[in-house]
A and B are shown apart, each in its own frame.
Chain A
């Protein structure tokens, strides 16, 4: 229709991997497109970079000059990290860091294991009430956890487990279950029934089928949900705040950091180092397992 197309006789060359975006971009006159991409990338990186640089600057320098002056006058120190981790004279973030680890690992394992066997039942066993139960669990994804917090807290107090890790483990497990079951169920339905049939004919029971046939195939799905849940729990503030109390007995590092911002909002040497102590774990996980994380994001993200 339009006649402005430049003559392109050599069409066959590299047409295979041309996408709409590429065509759009090419015609957007490349320098501008590159510039826009660079501007966005810089805008998205500078905030984190600024705080990272600050976390290694001496306390006095942070408080009197901007972090960008670091490049004309570079002085590095690890004092901020020592101060923020130390319990005696600093913010004592070390024990909260341990709490976060203690909270997160079971909070990932419990829903993952329970959801796997539940999803197996939904996907591969016929039983009365299967559809309605699955629908209910699917619908439970919409429940915002705010709705459950106070009655749940009362239940924990009545059961005598208030202020123990059990409250946080169970809460995260409960909140993670509906999404986990939904994701794993979808994934299991995609496994060809003939594989399971073959195993069954060989006389394998549910447990054997589960471990020998399904588990190896499920690994990507388990990894996807596992990372999803890991980041969710590690980065959570609300659940930790409600069930974790104020002290360093069970509260996670996010709670300690949030409190630190409230009480010592200008202690940037502590805040910057503290933020990076908490950030380093999820970012490492993310960098190494990015592929699975992305898959988890693409698979479902309506979690309440």
Chain B
């Protein structure tokens, strides 16, 4: 399967697809340039928009509506069961655990990641090693969730606590060094969910730091200088100058991370597979849809996800608008 010929074939296919796509775009540009007369602009605009609108209608709008419709059907997608699936989500014990975990992700991650990111942004601001220091924290952003999960799974690795067996996971080794006994970190609920959240904090702190650092640097010098001449204390400077000035950015960071947390999937699936009471909505959606073949419940979970995302996104956009207006 993985012979060099098939790899070359794949790359050739890719080049072919890109060329085909360029040809389509070229054709659109050419056709649009032929438009003449009073309606020429209109024709051009619709031609430019045509591929986008078709793709979004077929690939986003229709599937979205279709999923909403299917969420009212049973596991096989045959019998109409009204709000049955939603009832399951909000009453069955397993599903309530899933909802509870999702709430934990959404509440804990944004605040801790933003807190760490803000603290670090302040600490390294204008220091000699600022760029390197920032890159260190920011690098996890470039690593895939799957890669990050493997990195941290190794930290949490557990070896049975017997005679000659040495721990190879850093966390357990640290515990052993201070005289404790090693733990199966990813098995014991509810701590395992918090340890998964740590991975996400590790990834998101860099994002928070970058945005907040940019906001801090945008604070006008004269305000800072005035406050400094007034002899404001460090805490006062942070509380009454920095924080009010970067508040819109903080809100955007918090909400952006929160939206991402609603959809967290990769980390849970890679580290525990949703076992040991760690599942979250997006993981449960995948399991129900593609593993348990419960289409109706899977669809309903996706819709719940959608409904939970909307208010945060709307709030986020309003804040974004406000911060742009400033």
| A residues apposed to B, CB below 8 Å | 1-5, 11, 15-28, 33-34, 36-37, 40-41, 44-48, 50-51, 54, 62-68, 87, 92, 94-95, 98-99, 101-102, 105-106, 109-110, 113-115, 117-118, 120-122, 125-128, 130, 133, 137, 140-144, 146-152, 155, 165-166, 169-171, 173-175, 177-178, 181, 205-207, 210, 231, 234-238, 241-242, 247-249, 254, 257-258, 261-262, 265, 268, 271-272, 274-275, 278-279, 282-283, 285-287, 290, 293-294, 297-298, 300-302, 304
- CA–CA, A274 and B56, complex, Å: 35
Interface string of B47-75 (1 = CB under 8 A from A): 01101110110111111101110100000
If A144-B263, A146-B286, A261-B153 are given as contacts, then 11 extra A-B residue pairs at C-beta distance below 8 Å, sorted by A number, are A19-B224, A20-B224, A24-B234, A46-B170, A62-B168, A126-B41, A150-B299, A207-B33, A235-B147, A238-B286, A290-B135
- Inter-chain residue pair count (beta carbon < 8 A): 380
- CA–CA, A262 and B269, complex, Å: 9
Q: A286–B142 contact, CB under 8 A? A: yes
Q: Is B79 an interface residue (CB 8 A)?
A: no
Chain B residue at smallest Cβ distance from A178: B56
Q: B70–A237 contact, CB under 8 A? A: no
Chain B neighbourhood of A21, CB < 8 A: 121-122, 125-126, 216, 242
Chain B residue at smallest Cβ distance from A113: B25
| B residues apposed to A, CB below 8 Å | 1-2, 6-7, 10-11, 13-14, 17-18, 21-22, 25, 28-29, 32-33, 41-42, 44-46, 48-49, 51-53, 55-56, 58-64, 66-68, 70, 116, 119-127, 133, 135-147, 149-155, 157, 166-170, 173, 202, 205-207, 210-211, 214, 216-217, 219, 221, 223-225, 227-235, 237-238, 241-242, 245, 256, 259, 262-263, 265-266, 269-271, 273, 282, 285-286, 289-290, 295, 298-299, 301-303, 305-306, 309-310, 313-314, 316-317, 320
- CA–CA, A16 and B17, complex, Å: 53
- Which among B61, B66, B146, B259 has the highest number of chain A CB atoms within 10 Å? B146
- Choose one: B144, B221, B265; the contact of A235 (CB below 8 Å): B144
Chain B neighbourhood of A62, CB < 8 A: 168
Chain B residue at smallest Cβ distance from A301: B256
The distance from the CB of A201 to the nearest CB of chain B, in whole angstroms, is 16
